[in-house]
Amino acid sequence: MSSPSVSAPSTAAGRSALTIPDAALIEEACKKSGLIWVAVSGLRDRAAWHVWHEQDEQGAVYIVVGGGEQSLPGLADGITVRVTVRSKDKGGRLVSWPGVVARIVPGTEEWATVVPVLHGKRLNAHDGEAQPERWAANSAIFRIRPQGALLEGPGHYATASGAAPVPPSPATTRSR
């Protein structure tokens, strides 16, 4: 999926704030889908496994990056990204929303709350129960909290497919 812009403009309907139904849609979509796409300005969208978790009565996506986990270049504390969530039933784009990124610091209350949730959802950890210690030493955990109106959702999708162009490559297809 390609994202020309990750800013949070108002939608075609002229809305500029996240409504309660939109917040519920984001929460439900993120809870049902184990995969989201994160677009950092100027870079290609990247697929990421995540966990939706509510902290202080506000839901957010939590992602583990680096240290043997997924790579999301450009992700940094304080930036705004575009998050796209697929439909669990159809597999197509269901909702896209702007989110503010915050890095979760090891040793904080939020770290202590969210790491067991992430650890429990992480499949095929090569270091088993030592995984949280590896994350503290070598990885970064980021929270992406929805902020502002939906960029795309039921009733107002972009007309473009969202597919990223194929990157240049020396690879070829054999022919006769």
pLDDT band at 104 (very low <50, low <70, confident <90, very high): very high
* Kind of pairing between the strands at 93-104 and 80-86: antiparallel
DSSP helix/strand/coil, 10: coil
CATH number of the structural domain 20-146: 2.30.110.10
Give the contacts of 121 (CB within 8 A, at least 6 positions apart): 34, 49, 51
In the chain, what are the domain boundaries?
A: 20-146
Hey, which bits of 9-91 come out as E strands?
Answer: 35-39, 46-49, 51-55, 58-65, 80-86
- pLDDT tens digits, 146-175: 999 999 998 888 888 777 778 888 988 888
